[in-house]
Amino acid sequence: MADPKKTSAGNRANVVSMDRAAREIERQKKMRRDTPPMEPRGPNKVLAGQWTPDLYGMPSDPECESPVMPIGFEGAYKYVIDSMGQFRVMKAADFNQVGIQDLYSDTPNYPKWMCPRWSKPVVDKKGVVTKPAEIVSFEADDIKEILFQACARMGFFSPNDKMRGRGAWTLRSGALVYHAGNAIWQCRRGKFSTLPTGMIEQHLYPRLSALPEPWTQPIGLEDNPAGKLLATFRKWHWTRPEVDPVLLLGWIGVAFLGGALDWRSACLLLGDRATGKSTLQAALRDIFGEALFRSADTTAAGIYQAMAHDARPVALDELEPDADSRKLDNVVHLMRTSSSGDIGRRGGPTKGEASEFQMRSAFLFSAINNPLRSAQDMSRVAVLRLLPLDLNQERPAPVNADTAGPMILALMMQGWGEAGEGFRAEKQRFSRALAEGGHTNRGQDTYGTLLACAALMLGPELAAELDVPLGPEEEREWASLLAADALPEIEDAKPNYRQCVDQILTASVKAWRNASFNTLGQVIWGLRTTDDDGAAIEPEIDRATAKRHVNVAGFGLLNTHELVAGVMRAQGIGLNEALMRYGLPAAGWVLAVPNKSTKVAEHLEGSDWQHGAWKDALRQCPVPGVMITNADINKVTIDGAQQRCTLIVLDKYHAAPER
């Protein structure tokens, strides 16, 4: 006897499939209506060439509208939607006979009706017309002038600002729409409906290859794939088994919402070989289907060129830090701008020409070693760490590629709410909890968005059944589960100024030859006169040698007394008054970093600060008294010349909070 649950689910899948097929047939019928040019069109029986122009100069009679839609212009380019619904970029020379035929290729009779070219009637010797004039083609110049004028009257149009590719977006009201390529889907009061591709609220949603559509039948608790996915994810061996599967589930929701979100959290799967990273990536491919951009070896240019204006998710495997550093940095930078939706720029086809692009995709990386270095990148990413799989454990169940993605998309669209209020409410409650756990606004955005999407996907009843604290009042548990101080990715994410100082102290000094010390930090450490317990010890290096080594490297090393000696002489003040005036301790070392220096640039070669950015990076320190920039004392003699420097009070630097 058949399982009634499976039979019911199968029937619903058949209904969804038949609905999809019926919608596609209707679309094709509408697109292929192309009355012969000699026949009148529309209810008003409009004859060829006798149509009424609208404000843009295009046919306006009912059921006579042009299947080619002018969009606007930008410089030498004219933008139109062709008869197949595709976005086209045209130059003036493209509007010739062949180019116009191409634009109207799905409705070849229309241009002949719009601007007919008539044959000459056949007249016999008696002047009797034996064969009346017929439409044999179209007047390309007339159509060209009409389309030129319409594009001009439509006004300036920039695809970077107005184009919306496949994925989720929001209207001015906050309502969510999903561009599936061949139709625009919306969900109002739980009911799904479609809009045709084209212009919606001054944004262009062009016709593109189709993506999986949302599930349109009711989804009960037993059918909800989110529960099955969470159970599947839990079979992997995570370092935080109660947290990481939930965050990964939340990322799937973020990936489907894409361009509708203000912030798109990224995820990084970290684990050695045989931890199941590739299997997880394969499961994601089954969920998203063609909506997912995936690659194991790509460049930033390859990603944004393939994505164009889409807001589809991006999954990259084997993104290792030992790869080409510039290539890796560009990919990470693309993830960074995509998280916030910032504008990026790339080179154009000709010298001196640049173009802008904007991505609104959720990124997922997988790697053995962490490829992210900067605090700003780590703050955008939830790091999910995997341990080796138990080879004897039960294998994860396969994902139903036909239903899982469409169902999750439908759940996210329904959970979004009429104007986004559903998502906002969830995000706010998790953000409040994360704030209690010590997270900054960035952490609240990154983790709060993931948790909100997981909550929308599961719903309170299924979340309770699976023992996931996502229901009302349960969000407070995440203040401890995701406490900022307990997250390695946040713990390691030092602020920019601290990363810069650490680089200065730990980078090898190339100018030293046959020295027993390799770094500035080792030299300064060698000047210690007390051990960690406060007991007196002999310094490993004398002061004069240390100063000389540091000077050869392009820096200055002074104690606090030396730093204020000139002010004391010039102004006739005592040591204590001078130290107090500049917020300096009674003892300790100060490292002088020239604001401009070829030696410092060489010392920082390969870093983010090598081209002079170290000056501003050091001055970003928010702790008073760590960085001294006062002009009275910041001129230090280095390499025989006085240079303006940023002064690092080392004891205060080491005592300052790391975040």
- Identify how many contiguous H helices and E strands the chain contains and give both numbers: 24, 25
Q: Residue type at 358?
A: Q
**Distance in angstroms (rounded) separating the CA atoms of residues 227 and 205:** 33
* Per-residue pLDDT tens over the stretch 562-583: 999 999 999 999 999 999 999 9
**Distance in angstroms (rounded) separating the CA atoms of residues 157 and 78:** 9
* Per-residue pLDDT tens over the stretch 314-360: 999 888 776 567 888 888 889 999 998 876 655 444 444 445 667 89
CA 283 to chain centre: 21
pTM of the model: 0.76
What parts of the chain have a pLDDT lower than 70? Answer: 1-32, 322-324, 343-357, 393, 396, 489-493, 514, 658-659
Which tokens in the block code for residue 612? 């002079």
**Distance in angstroms (rounded) separating the CA atoms of residues 294 and 17:** 26
Which tokens in the block code for residue 304? 């944004």
**Distance in angstroms (rounded) separating the CA atoms of residues 40 and 549:** 93
Beta strands in 108-153 (DSSP E): 116-118, 122-123, 129-131, 135-138
Cα 631 to Cα 198, 644, 646, distances in angstroms: 61, 8, 10
Cα 100 to Cα 52, 146, 338, distances in angstroms: 21, 12, 37
State residue 202's pLDDT score. Answer: 87
Question: Between β-strands 363-367 and 266-270, what pairing exists: parallel, antiparallel or unpaired?
Answer: parallel
State residue 161's pLDDT score. Answer: 83
CB neighbours of residue 245 within 10 Å? 23
Q: Judge whether 334 and 300 are in contact, CB under 8 Å.
A: yes
CA 543 to chain centre: 51
Which tokens in the block code for residue 283? 């499961």
**CATH assignment, 225-385+399-491:** 3.40.50.300
Question: Between β-strands 116-118 and 87-90, what pairing exists: parallel, antiparallel or unpaired?
Answer: unpaired
**Distance in angstroms (rounded) separating the CA atoms of residues 110 and 48:** 9
157 DSSP assignment: -
**Distance in angstroms (rounded) separating the CA atoms of residues 68 and 546:** 77
Q: Judge whether 228 and 397 are in contact, CB under 8 Å.
A: yes
State residue 522's pLDDT score. Answer: 94
- Tell me the three state secondary structure of residue 335: helix
**Distance in angstroms (rounded) separating the CA atoms of residues 430 and 257:** 18
Beta strands in 150-277 (DSSP E): 167-170, 176-179, 184-188, 191-195, 198-200, 203-205, 266-270
Q: Judge whether 219 and 456 are in contact, CB under 8 Å.
A: no
State residue 32's pLDDT score. Answer: 53
Q: Residue type at 316?
A: L
* Per-residue pLDDT tens over the stretch 153-190: 999 998 888 899 999 999 999 999 999 999 999 999 88
Cα 109 to Cα 39, 48, 149, 568, 627, distances in angstroms: 10, 10, 22, 93, 75
Q: Judge whether 287 and 364 are in contact, CB under 8 Å.
A: no
* Per-residue pLDDT tens over the stretch 113-152: 999 999 998 888 888 878 888 999 999 999 999 999 999 9
State residue 183's pLDDT score. Answer: 94
Q: Where are the domains of the chain?
A: 69-157, 167-205, 225-385+399-491, 496-655
Q: Is the dihedral of CA 228, 231, 232, 238 positive or negative?
A: positive
Which residues are paired to 368 by β-bridges? none
> Could you write out the DSSP letters of every residue in 76-88?
TEEEEE-TTS-EE
**Distance in angstroms (rounded) separating the CA atoms of residues 262 and 508:** 42
